[in-house]
């Protein structure tokens, strides 16, 4: 499978759509490469998502200026040494033509262009970058302080706020080019999960499975969209290391997704048994989480409030755990008293797009919308999204079940359930430490489209994929 390339016209359309929403000029910085440990050793450059959205190319240190109905790119002029170290570079004329821009100009003309655009540079709107060097550069260009990573604190009523709202309005609903990117990224990332399943028997450490998955992502020209989680300690929700040995009774949780060269993310979690066969208790809990996930996916429809999707997952999980004898009593009552969050303490998902948590740099402004605020209730307070779903929005659906000792031992979190949590029954499920099942789902005019459907998901499909590998 070769990844699709977005047509240049898609970016031109996005730029026009932004201009139609803007009253004044706006500047987007691409960002600067980040050095790892000394100046000449860089992480691969990944441009700011806003910049990528409107240009589709990652040009270090560049900036895109929208002003007076034009879109101009400002970039470093090729230096004499560049041909020596970096090979032939496109001319500005070639860049202009390739990206259908109004102009491509050297960076040193940007201060003048800002004055022409806005009366004063300070009136040009921008969005803060994550990297400190670019934030400092924007500050000096615009004559006001822009602190890195502060897109979530932009003050209302400012030009920056208006720009943030305009960008959010565009980026929330994906266009055809974006959907093609998300589909391809999810499909290739699904292959990585299949590769992980196939590499598990015979592997001795988590890192060997992670290696197979990373290798498969790269084989499709995908970078990591985020640091992969591949662990037998699935109950540790943020677990960036892959150092544990694999033992036959373990479940392995893999939360791994790639990013296309244009920057679009996938975010998929699967869980499989190291031995190739789920134990009866693992199968039972897995099916409980799967039921919750399928019920939640079915609700990804036009007009559904995302919090309701979250609640569906929680109630379905509580009902399934009640069927297993872990909870006792009335499902609705259990849910109201916080039963779901004891085992599923995070939100059911988030926006997906150019970022894994799409638009999270702009804070809850994007994913909650006007007038909606986060719940203060344990579990629900971590819900990252609460919009009414619309066609073109992509979200993850990722309920889980985790036995987190710090939660199970905390009476402030479990007290309201009391004896309705049957800890003797729970004990029988000790071989389930953490399960999460996560798909990427596109809201459409009709049924939800599961972008990551190629990743084996039922216990039967997972076991079949693993058995197939063993036969090879």
Q: Which stretches of the chain bind a second copy, using CB under 8 A?
A: 31, 34-46, 48-49, 83-88, 130, 132-133, 149, 151, 205, 207-208, 210-212, 214-219, 221, 226-227, 233, 235-240, 242-243, 261, 345, 355-357, 360-361, 404-407
DSSP per-residue string spanning 31-100: --PPBSSSTT-BPPP---HHHHHHHSS--TT-EEEEETTEEEEEEPPPPTTHHHHH-----HHHHHHHHT
Nearer to a second copy, 278 or 402 (CB): 402
> Of the two residues 105 and 242, which places its CB atom closer to a second copy in the complex?
242
Q: Between 177 and 210, whose beta carbon lies closer to a second copy?
A: 210
The encoded tokens of residue 446 equal 């009709």
Q: Closest CB to a second copy among 240 and 333? A: 240
Of residues 78, 92, 71, 89, the one with CA closest to residue 28 = 71
Cβ of 405: how many Cβ atoms within 10 Å? 9
Exposed/middle/buried for residue 223 (C-beta within 10 Å: 0-12, 13-18, 19+):
middle
Q: Minimum distance between the CB of residue 20 and a second copy, rounded to whole angstroms? A: 26
CB of 459 to a second copy, least distance (A): 26
For the CB of residue 236, give the shortest distance to a second copy in the complex, in Å: 4
Q: Which DSSP state fits 362? A: G
Of the pair 237, 425, the CB lying nearest a second copy is at 237
Q: Residue 360 CB, nearest distance to a second copy (Å)?
A: 5
Q: Which is nearer to a second copy, 113 or 195 (CB)?
A: 195
| Distance (Å, whole) CA 465 – CA 312 | 30
Smallest distance, Å, CB 130 to a second copy? 5
List, in sequence order, every beta strand (DSSP E) within 412-464: 434-436, 439-442, 449-450
Note whether 232 and 252 are within 8 A (CB): yes
CB of 78 to a second copy, least distance (A): 11
Beginning with the edge strand found earlier in the chain, give each strand of the sheet holding 251-256 in spatial order.
229-231, 251-256, 268-273
CB-nearer residue toward a second copy: 31 or 456: 31
Give me the least distance between CB of 116 and a second copy, in Å please.
Answer: 30
CA–CA separation, 300 vs 395, rounded Å?
9
For 449, phi and psi rounded to 5 degrees? -105, 115
Q: Min. distance of Cβ 446 from a second copy in angstroms? A: 32
User: Comparing C-alpha atoms, which of 411, 381, 385, 409 is closest to residue 397?
Assistant: 385
> Residue 227's closest CA among 239, 219, 209?
239
Residue nearer to a second copy on the CB measure, 296 or 356? 356
């Amino acid at each position: 499978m070769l990844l699709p390339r977005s047509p240049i016209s898609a970016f031109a359309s996005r730029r026009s759509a932004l201009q139609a929403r803007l009253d004044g000029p706006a500047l987007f910085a691409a960002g600067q490469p980040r050095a790892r440990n000394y100046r000449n050793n860089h992480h691969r450059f990944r441009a700011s998502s806003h910049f990528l959205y409107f240009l589709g190319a990652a040009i270090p240190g560049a900036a895109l200026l929208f002003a007076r109905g034009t879109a101009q790119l400002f970039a470093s002029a090729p230096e004499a040494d560049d041909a020596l170290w970096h090979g032939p570079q496109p001319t500005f004329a070639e860049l202009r033509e390739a990206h259908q821009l109004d102009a491509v100009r050297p960076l040193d003309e940007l201060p003048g262009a800002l004055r022409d655009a806005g009366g004063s540079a300070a009136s040009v709107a921008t969005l803060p970058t994550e990297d400190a060097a670019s934030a400092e550069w924007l500050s000096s260009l615009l004559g006001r302080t822009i602190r890195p990573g502060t897109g979530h604190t932009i003050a209302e009523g400012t030009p920056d706020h208006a720009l943030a709202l305009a960008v959010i309005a565009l980026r929330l609903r994906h266009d055809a080019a974006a959907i093609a990117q998300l589909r391809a990224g999810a499909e290739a990332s699904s292959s990585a999960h299949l590769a992980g399943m196939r590499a598990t028997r015979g592997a001795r450490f988590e890192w060997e499975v992670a290696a197979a998955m990373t290798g498969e992502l790269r084989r499709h020209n995908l970078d990591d969209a985020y640091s992969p989680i591949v662990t037998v300690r699935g109950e540790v929700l943020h677990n960036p290391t892959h150092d544990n040995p694999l033992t036959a009774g373990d479940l392995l949780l893999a939360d791994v997704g790639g990013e296309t060269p244009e920057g679009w993310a996938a975010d998929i979690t699967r869980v499989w048994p190291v031995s190739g066969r789920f134990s009866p208790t693992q199968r039972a809990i897995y099916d409980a989480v799967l039921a919750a996930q399928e019920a939640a996916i079915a609700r990804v429809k036009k007009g559904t409030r995302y919090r309701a999707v979250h609640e569906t997952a929680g109630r379905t999980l509580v009902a399934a755990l009640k069927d297993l004898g872990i909870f006792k009593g009335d499902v609705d009552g259990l849910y109201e008293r916080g039963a779901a969050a004891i085992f599923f303490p995070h939100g059911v998902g988030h926006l997906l797009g150019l970022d894994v948590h799409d638009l999270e740099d702009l804070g809850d402004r994007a994913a909650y919308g006007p007038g909606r605020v986060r719940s203060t209730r344990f579990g629900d307070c971590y819900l990252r999204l609460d919009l009414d779903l619309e066609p073109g929005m992509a979200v993850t659906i990722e309920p889980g079940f985790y036995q987190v000792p710090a939660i199970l031992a905390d009476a402030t979190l479990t007290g309201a359930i009391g004896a309705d949590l049957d800890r003797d029954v729970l004990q029988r499920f000790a071989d389930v430490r953490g399960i999460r099942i996560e798909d990427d789902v596109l809201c459409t005019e009709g049924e939800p489209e599961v972008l990551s459907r190629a990743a084996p998901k039922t216990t039967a499909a997972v076991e079949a994929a693993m058995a197939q590998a063993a036969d090879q």
